[in-house]
Structure 1
Amino acid sequence: MDMAVQQLTELPPVTMTFIGGVFTLGLLQFLGFASEIHYIFLWKGIVQRHEYWRFVTPFFYFGKLNIDLALRAYFLSRHPRMLEEGCYRHNVAEYAWIMLFAAANLLLIAVAFPKISPPFLGSSLLSAITYLWARRNEGVRVSLLGVFTFTAPYLPWVTLAMSYIANDEGPGRDHRGRPIKVSHHDEMHQEPGLSGRDKTLIFELIGMFIGHVIFFLEDVYPKFSGGSRPLAPPWVYVQRWLDNSREQTEDVYVEEHNTDYAAPAPTQRLTDSVSHSETPQAGTSTSAQPTHREGLVNRLGDGS
């Protein structure tokens, strides 16, 4: 337990923010300020009642604050932390952009297909991050409970199977098996034949697909496109535009003010022509051509 607490306190910024959100929602529920219904993703509540926090809370709820949540948080933060401290160690902002991209796509799919979307989306987001870490560390060997050992690319599938086995929630029900109600008289719509476990399985598969899209756009596509990154953060394009504008401005300034490559000045051309004319020609004598100093002496001598 002490080791888990120590590991949680040493988390990098983005992972710390994620785990902090998990503990915050759990604490609010523990103190009685909120319940599961306040955290689920409910499009009707966002549109009709302007409950915009529902865009965020579905990714951070993993249960009420207790010892079990603390232990779960330790395992939840493992691969996001390893990805942030590895690939994004010196670029935390890009890691935050990647998580935002994955979360936004999960929200879009949940809005487009409400009948298959689970109430909470945190496990789906972690599936995307775990998949991305596994594809970037294909040679790493992972041990499950110290019994099974396999390479990293199999980790998302093993995690998916364990999540499916452990998840026995019914459709639209909380972790204690009670129906989640939108109001006192209205329960969430439940699609016949599609359990909460099936919804979670589907969205974790979608999360893995989003992780694969991120991996392709960030690691595979740039190799065949000359380094182009379609998923690069917006500020990368802004910085590139600023750099290009600065270079163009400097080029114009050099063309207008730099004289290193300008035509020779008139005095320089005159000097070059005089030097060329004073060069002795073949078959001529330089003694017959008095210099200006010699002519001056002769004229002074003639007048004496």
Structure 2
Amino acid sequence: MAYQTFRNEYINMPPVTRAYTTACVVTTLAVQLELASPFQLYFNPILILKQGQVWRLVTTFLFFGAFGFNFFFNMIFTYKYCRMLEEGSFRNRTADFVMMFLFGASCMIIFAFFVNLLFLGQAFTIMLVYVWARRNPFVRINFFGLLNFQAPYMPWVLLGFSLLLGNAVYVDLTGIAVGHIYFFMEDVFPNQQGGFKILKTPTVLKMLLDPHPDDSDYVPLPEERPGGFEWGNRQNRNENQEND
């Protein structure tokens, strides 16, 4: 029964979320089984430019450390907020969602050339959380039953929690910065007087990834349920159900 539930959940995941989270888990599992080493995965400009190890441009976003609390914490937020975006504001716009991935990853790679960033997966997760939070500013979030706040504060709460786990602050700040750049370019500047859309998804990408207008093969998670993960206590969950 548990296997069937997991299988159905996995199959019903939207494609980009499924592909990215699967790649993260498989990469970490490969390291855990000693099929790969973190030294083969981290971002290293010298090895990329001089030895052509271009895979590091991808693997730096896929490794979150060995299996443990930090890994599962990051994967929960990566999966939930990635899915919330893909099934919410990017519903039926897979090409635009992939474009956001490419833009965010490119910005972080540029930052990594100037700052000592070895693995960018956590920064990428913060970017996803930031974009979702800014697009859902009136949602209230209960964090571990301890804190209640509006969604836009979520990235900063995660930054503080990350510090408690001993992570470097500039990793989360990179994700926040890139998320803000994307949000400004997509949601703020085009709506200002004289503004225009800066990021344009290539037509070929839309032809390859976007579904037919009549296609609707999965039901989205409601965006008012932040991350799809119940951090709050039972009373808060019951109140949310009554409000729904």
TM-score, normalisation: structure 1: 0.61
Give the one of 39, 54, 57 matched to 2:56.
54
Other structure's SS at 1:77 match: helix
1:205 aligns with 2:173: yes
- Give the direction of change, closer, same or farther, for the CA distance of 1:220–1:69 in structure 2 (3 Å limit): closer
Q: Report what 1:233 is aligned to.
A: 201
1:78 aligns with 2:80: yes
CA distance in 1, matches of 2:161, 2:169: 11
CA distance in 1, matches of 2:27, 2:125: 17
CA distance in 2, matches of 1:32, 1:237: 36
Q: Report what 1:217 is aligned to.
A: 185
- Give the direction of change, closer, same or farther, for the CA distance of 1:8–1:68 in structure 2 (3 Å limit): farther
Post-superposition shift, 1:225? 4.7
CA contact (8 A) 1:117 1:203 kept: no
Post-superposition shift, 1:44? 1.4
Post-superposition shift, 1:161? 0.6
1:124 aligns with 2:92: no
Q: Report what 2:238 is aligned to.
A: none
Post-superposition shift, 1:59? 0.3
- Give the direction of change, closer, same or farther, for the CA distance of 1:237–1:15 in structure 2 (3 Å limit): closer
Amino acid at match of 1:221: F
Post-superposition shift, 1:232? 2.0
CA distance in 2, matches of 1:149, 1:27: 35
In the comparison of the two structures, how many residue pairs are matched? 204
TM-score, normalisation: structure 2: 0.75
CA distance in 1, matches of 2:70, 2:133: 26
Give the one of 13, 22, 25 matched to 1:23.
25
CA contact (8 A) 2:78 2:128 kept: no
Deviations 1:127-155 (A, max 9, x none): 11111110000011111012321110100
CA distance in 1, matches of 2:160, 2:71: 21
CA distance in 1, matches of 2:109, 2:158: 22
CA contact (8 A) 2:28 2:63 kept: yes
Gaps of at least 5 residues in structure 2 are: 208-244
Structure number with greater Rg is 1
- Give the direction of change, closer, same or farther, for the CA distance of 1:108–1:138 in structure 2 (3 Å limit): same
CA distance in 2, matches of 1:216, 1:68: 30
Q: 5 Å matches for 1:1-304?
A: 5=6, 7=9, 10-64=12-66, 69=71, 72-111=74-113, 113=114, 116-167=115-166, 197=167, 200-225=168-193, 228-235=196-203
Q: Report what 1:247 is aligned to.
A: none
Other structure's SS at 2:142 match: strand
Deviations 1:80-131 (A, max 9, x none): 11111100011011011101100001001111x1xx3221001111111111
Gaps of at least 5 residues in structure 1 are: 168-196, 240-304
Post-superposition shift, 1:206? 2.1
User: Percentage identity across aligned positions?
Assistant: 33
Q: Report what 1:296 is aligned to.
A: none
CA RMSD for the aligned pairs?
Answer: 2.7
Post-superposition shift, 1:228? 2.4
- Give the direction of change, closer, same or farther, for the CA distance of 1:148–1:133 in structure 2 (3 Å limit): same
CA distance in 2, matches of 1:73, 1:8: 14
- Give the direction of change, closer, same or farther, for the CA distance of 1:238–1:29 in structure 2 (3 Å limit): closer
Deviations 1:201-239 (A, max 9, x none): 113212211111111111111212567210121329999
CA contact (8 A) 1:8 1:74 kept: no
CA distance in 1, matches of 2:63, 2:152: 27
Larger RCO (CA within 8 A; separation ≥ 6):
2
Post-superposition shift, 1:65? 5.3
CA contact (8 A) 1:23 1:65 kept: no
- Give the direction of change, closer, same or farther, for the CA distance of 1:62–1:107 in structure 2 (3 Å limit): same
Deviations 1:238-296 (A, max 9, x none): 99xxxxxxxxxxxxxxxxxxxxxxxxxxxxxxxxxxxxxxxxxxxxxxxxxxxxxxxxx
